[in-house]
Amino acid sequence: MTTTLVVLGGTQRLRRADRELLVLAGGLGGTHAVVPGAPGQELLDALAAHGTAAVHVPAGEPDDRLTTPLTALTEAAARACAADAVLLSATPEATDVAARLGVRLEAGVVTDVVALDAQLTATKQVLAGGWTTRCRARGGVLVATVRPHAVELPDPAPPAGEPAGRPALRRHELTDGAPAARIVGRDPLPPTGRPSPAEARVVVAGGRGTGGDFGPLEELADVLGAAIGASRAAVDAGWIGPEAQIGQTGLTVSPQLYVSCGISGALQQRAGMQTAKVVVAVNKDPQAPVFEIADLGVVGDLRTVLPQAAAHLRRLRS
């Protein structure tokens, strides 16, 4: 039987990305979980409901080193449960942990996985989403980072009610002395009150063509319950934070709907959004490359088209 170790992002409750990893692992066999600090009761209950056999936690307080404490904890947990696969949610931090873990466990590491079968063959998109490959670890352990939304969550999720049994708690004494960077300051990003583009079903993204006014996009996003994304040009101009950037060096998103507004559709921008189910583009320039990939293209000014669309949808709804 396959034993899968799932590395969770937090200590208090399951985020959507965590649940996706647990559902994926549950379909493969037995599940163990890594929690980066002292786990809360709500988290333990949720893990029990997911049939988690054991929860691996650090014995001491988490410290301020970047990457290495989680790498050491995950390494210890993977050895303790003889994991066949280690799953992390695909974020930049997790990628760094997966990389270092791969060396320590002599594991094959596959990033940005969108599907994993019973033989631990991973499917992923490569070359800016232009190709799909299947790959696996050559013997030994597989370490995989999994794209958000790659896994369908059962509805209602997770199975509530009688937990299948308490997961065993395993504390690991960590003596990892590897040189490391230390966190000396934290600046939280201002909350947007909207879903993050990586997780949202609908993303409304703006580029240089917004001229810095995201108001029309926000109006439409309100009606659609959408996240706001941006091109690098909009981020570079300082109109919106870098966490909104979609593309080669920003987020890769695969929403049901991507509304591209005042974005030309350069290669590096497309790299982050071309696996969206439906693409709608609003751009003044009929020659904009974004129209080559849009399911619906509206040649027009976003400042009139978007508010009109939002108003029409609101009218139909009421």
Partner 1 sequence: MNRPLTIVVPVKHVPDAAQERVLAGDPPRLQRGTGILCELDEYALEAALQLVEARGGTAAGHRVLALTMGPAPAADALKRALQLGADAAVHVLDDALAGSDAWATALVLAAAVRRTAEEEGRPVDLVLTGMASTDGETSLVPGQLAERLGLAHVGFATALSLDDDAAALTAVHATATESLRVEAPLPALVAVTDRSSTPRYPSFKAILAAKKKPVRTWSAADLGLGPEQVGTVGSRTEVLGAEARPPRTAGRVIHDDGEGGIRLAEFLLAERLV
Ligand X SMILES: Cc1cc2nc3c(=O)[nH]c(=O)nc-3n(C[C@H](O)[C@H](O)[C@H](O)COP(=O)(O)OP(=O)(O)OC[C@H]3O[C@@H](n4cnc5c(N)ncnc54)[C@H](O)[C@@H]3O)c2cc1C
- Binding region for ligand X (CB under 6 A): 207-209, 231-234, 245-250, 262-264, 266, 268-269, 272, 282-285, 288, 301-303
Count how many residues are written for the chain. Answer: 318
Known binding residue 51? Answer is no
Residue 133 in marked binding region: no
Q: Cβ of 2: how many Cβ atoms within 10 Å? A: 16
Site for partner 1 in 286-305 (CB under 8 A): 286, 291-301, 304-305
DSSP 242: G
Could you give the string, one character per residue 28-67, with x where binding to partner 1 holds by CB under 8 A and - elsewhere? Answer: --------------------------------------xx
DSSP 29: E
Where in 137-166 is the site for partner 1 (CB under 8 A)?
Answer: 137-138, 140
DSSP H or E stretch at residue 75:
helix 68-80
Give the list of residues 6+ apart from residue 156 with CB closer than 8 angstroms, or none: none
Which residue lies nearer to ligand X by CB, 96 or 301?
Answer: 301
Nearer to ligand X, 3 or 231 (CB): 231
Residue 3, both tokens: 């034993």
Residue 246 among known ligand-binding residues? yes
Cα–Cα distance measured from residue 209 to residue 206, given in angstroms and rounded to the nearest whole number: 7
Q: Are 34 and 80 in contact (CB under 8 A)?
A: no
Query: Is residue 107 involved in binding partner 1 (CB under 8 A)?
Result: yes
Strand order, beta sheet including 52-58: 122-126, 108-116, 142-146, 85-89, 2-7, 29-34, 52-58, 168-172
Distance, C-alpha 145 to centroid of its chain: 9
In the three-class reduction of DSSP (H, G, I as helix; E, B as strand; rest coil), residue 5 is classed as strand
16 binds, among partner 1, ligand X, none (CB under 5 to 8 A by kind): none
Contacts of 74 (CB under 8 A, 6+ apart): 5, 7, 34, 86, 97, 101
| 254, interface contact from ligand X, partner 1, none, CB < 5-8 Å by kind | none
- Of 12, 38, 42, 133, the one binding partner 1 (CB under 8 A) is 133
249 is in an annotated binding site: yes
Which of partner 1, ligand X, none has residue 45 at its interface (CB below 5 to 8 Å by kind)? none
The 10 Å Cβ neighbour count of residue 193 is: 5
Q: Which is nearer to partner 1, 11 or 268 (CB)?
A: 268
Does 238 engage in binding with partner 1 (CB under 8 A)? no
CB of 234 to ligand X, least distance (A): 6
Residues placed in the known binding site for FAD = 208, 231-232, 245-249, 283
Residues placed in the known binding site = 208, 231-232, 245-249, 283
